[in-house]
Structure 1
Amino acid sequence: MIRPFRVGIAGLGTVGASVIQILDRQNRTVAQRGGRPVQVVGVSARDRAKDRGFDLSRFTWFDDPLALARSEEVDCVVELIGGADGTAHEVVRTALSLGKHVVTANKALLAKHGSALASLAEEKGVSLAFEASVAGGIPVIKTLREALPGNRVSRLYGILNGTCNYILSRMELEGLTFAECLKDAQRLGYAEADPTFDVEGFDTAHKLAILTSLAFGSKIDAEAIYVEGISSIAPLDLAMAHELGFRIKLLGVAERTETGIEQRVHPTMVPKTSSIAQVMGVTNAVTIDADAVKELTLIGPGAGGDATASAVVADIADVAGGKAGTTFGRPVADLEAAPRAPMQRHEGGYYIRLTVHDRPGVAAGVATRMAEADISLESILQKRSEMAATKDPHGRSGAPVPLVLITYAATEASIRSALDKISRDGLIAEPPQVIRIERE
């Protein structure tokens, strides 16, 4: 008789509880996929008395998750504690050191310690699996690691944070402010009490660091990622995007360039006709551009108990059957320290919203500074308020009004240089809004 694959789960929040429930109802299928029965033998969490919808008495309870990681009764530790350091890191490192397999959903841990932990897993001859760490139930890790060895990836980009996508979707469809949508997202449980990690782009950056390593065979380099969040996006930006044929998304983008691997997270205008523009609400999406498959887009639930647990269970089945493969698709020693492509060298189209003084010569002054920086303008739109139009027979009041520019391809450095000069010229009343455009 084949001995069961014995699993210990550290962390019994929404995802951990869902893992146990999925394994209960899909036990036979998981055993068939893995080639052996899977049995949860131990669990650890902060609160033993909490009702999680199933009987905890059938498992060995560990007050200390490190004791679970050290238990001789456990073959595989599932880490669902979270956090880049502290207990989560100690649990994973301890389990690997003792020759135990690890399955984790912890993107922060992998973004910071992924290479070292993968090296330890190789040394001990065990698996470190992490499908659930990026995009919830979407099998993007497996796709990059196992399905595309015949491809050279040139770019990947995606919506990797459901909270931000929900907020931007609501802002666009209902004309709400960022603050109003954030408050509603918190009420519905889509955003944390402190939403900084999500809305300022750091969660997306951690996930992008992992995908970049898998896509380009590079060492994880989260410090190389340029990060902007969505808190500065105004309803006017979304309305202008709509008028211009775009939609605004928070994207994580990794791309091969002549100067190295460019990694960036920021609000982005994408054409409404693109696949990724259709992704609304808390849904995630990842698009992979490669030479053989051309463009491949994966769309699905990026968070939630069952969706994330589905990815965890898939990893457990693969590890049980010895099919988990190399952590990052190749030995750690073969991962390259890819040159960083400085954000200042990024080249693309830009949406620029300036709040200018409504007086003669301002638009011409702005256009002159852009031309001096070799920036070509695709369009320029000035919005005047009804109040301004009634103040002066020429429709000018001197009051601040929005001036929107769309550029052809330009470098980040040239855009910033021109905007600095425009500011010094006294032509704008507020800091400029700059959103990059990602063409298909």
Structure 2
Amino acid sequence: MNSMMSRRRLLGLAGGAALALSPLGCGGAGGSGLAQPEGKVPEQYGKRRRVVIWMPYSAATGDAFTRLVAKFNDSQQDIYLESQFQGSYDELSQKLAAGLQARKVPDIAIFSEVTWRRFFLNDTLAPLTSFFGNGLATADYVDALIAEGTVKKDVWWVPFGRSTPLFYYNKTMFAQAGLPDRGPKTWDELRSWAPALQRVKVNGAAPKLHAYPEVDGDWMFQGAVWQFGGNYSKGLDVTIDTGGAVAAGEWQRRLIHEDKQAYMAKSPKVDFANGLIATLQESTGTLGGLLKDAKFDIGAAFLPQQVQFGCPTGGGGLSILAGIPEDRQKAAFEFVKFAAKPENAAQWSIDTGYLPATKAAQATPQMQQRFAERPAFKVAVEQLPKTQAQDVVRLMVPNANKAIYGGLQKIYADNQSAQQVFAAVAAELRKSTDSVREAVEKHI
């Protein structure tokens, strides 16, 4: 492996955070003196080996993760896992970049589907394939999910806290409008339902059909691009300014500015729960909160098609840092194994709304009970085999997400044509692609 990289490339791979590293070595098993963040093993856990995990979860999800960590610590007598909250996925990524500079890093971290690739391309993650066996096999995971973290037959990122977009609708509102109790088969069918929904009144006003997020809508829009027959990119060749991507953008522009049936919202899920919109496209991880906040029955369905089906995966996964001693890597993987046990994976899914990452978790009694209690959650699991990983340019090009959702804001708020907007976005993405092309072509 190349031991040194230009500062410009390192800055790009870190997504704006400084990531100037000295060599970590191929695979990182030999250890290079990387220290752990400050902390100590509590007295009640005696002389156990300390393992540090950085995580991005807060609120109820953070509480669920804390319970899982406590259960792991109580399940054995050799390892003490210390969980350290680092903010959002992006904030965790930035802090890890700084930690690598200071040569002080956690043993294991939870990355998003985008952030893990930044560190993989920079040779700072350990390959995990050799750790499988003795109670956990790669085949235990949902095939599509484990495949996303596998590159050249090595696993680098293990599914944990995964999600996909799902289509939600207000069942009460649909019934009042005389609409079928299901999601639309196509986006055009949804548009055709607008007149019926206009006869429904919420606090004296007719609801809008749909709303699009002001920030981070590029993940949802990835599915729309596929549904209209396009791509963000083919490999590293940017294609967002052509074909189905432009068609998807124009469809959404017309729904907002010509049909007056949608708008850009700070939080579409809040507006949906308050009855301001009849339908919503949001993460499967949102379902628990929606069921709690909404005062009406919620339906869930596969994402609508247009010329074909398209749904991207998202969410988190576990990676172990290269360059730390092998005994710490092995100890960290013990938590990976623990989290994958059927009863643990199922409970994590139930507590958070994330998809069950293992096949056995889906079959557990508690998960089957969850499906019975909340049929909408079962829809998310049934849609999972039809999903796919996002296009390479969004996953691996620095700040591609910001460029894309910045373009969407111009369509949603300013009524700019999709062709005009995406031509500018494509030009920006093509320039940024140069910063990672060499690394991507080398690693993928």
Q: TM-score range by the shorter chain?
A: under 0.3
Larger Rg: 1
Higher RCO (CA 8 Å, separation ≥ 6 residues)? 2
Which structure features the higher share of strand residues?
1
TM-score, with normalisation over the residues of structure 1? 0.28
